Amino acid sequence: MDWTGFAREATLGIVNNIAMMAMIIFPVMLVLEVARDLKVLDRIAAWLAPVVGFFRLSKEASFPLLVGIIFGIAYGAGVLIEEARSGRLSWKDLFLINVFLSVCHAVVEDTALFIAVGANGVVILLGRFVVAVILTLILSRSAWLEKESLKRGGTVFSIPSGGAGGKCC
């Protein structure tokens, strides 16, 4: 086997894939950051407030849900943690947002990356969205969630502001 040819081909493939991802991710993140700075996301979140009511979420849940859907789990988690610390979201809101985002997050980037490698973007986007909506809807109306929410007294998660306090996992 020609190991130098293999290494050259693998390196070329890696560089091409990284370049393709960069050509997708950098412009998307630039547009999303501009939209965030211009408060476009805040206006969209206000428009979505009645929609989140369908899932029995408070109107305050629309912004973190929107951020997670567009930006992804990492950035969405930052917003969720901040919202939890502020006390604006109930345990139920946080739980349902996390359920939805576990299935349907970073839809712009992920869909673009999958399209770049040959997948059908419509199938991926609609499939993730439909599964997230159905799963969240079922859970939002479940007796278990109501019981858990009552058990927790509608309180938010307890998240210390100082981090994990040196403890991990």
pLDDT digit string, tens, across residues 61-107? 888 888 888 888 877 787 888 888 888 888 999 999 999 999 999 88
Q: How far apart are CA 39 and CA 35, in angstroms?
A: 6
| Residue 169: pLDDT band with limits 50, 70, 90 | very low
Number of Cβ within 10 Å of residue 89's Cβ equals: 24
Long-range contacts of 150-153 (CB under 8 A, 24+ apart): 152/91
Question: Tokens at residue 151, please?
Answer: 């058990």
| Residue 119: pLDDT band with limits 50, 70, 90 | very high
pTM for the whole structure: 0.69
- Residues 94/156, Cβ–Cβ less than 8 Å: yes
Distance (Å) of CA 74 to CA 98, 106, 133, 151: 12, 9, 21, 29
pLDDT at residue 30, rounded to an integer: 81
3-state secondary structure of 147: helix
pLDDT at residue 4, rounded to an integer: 92
Q: How far apart are CA 97 and CA 62, in angstroms?
A: 9
Q: How far apart are CA 114 and CA 24, in angstroms?
A: 11
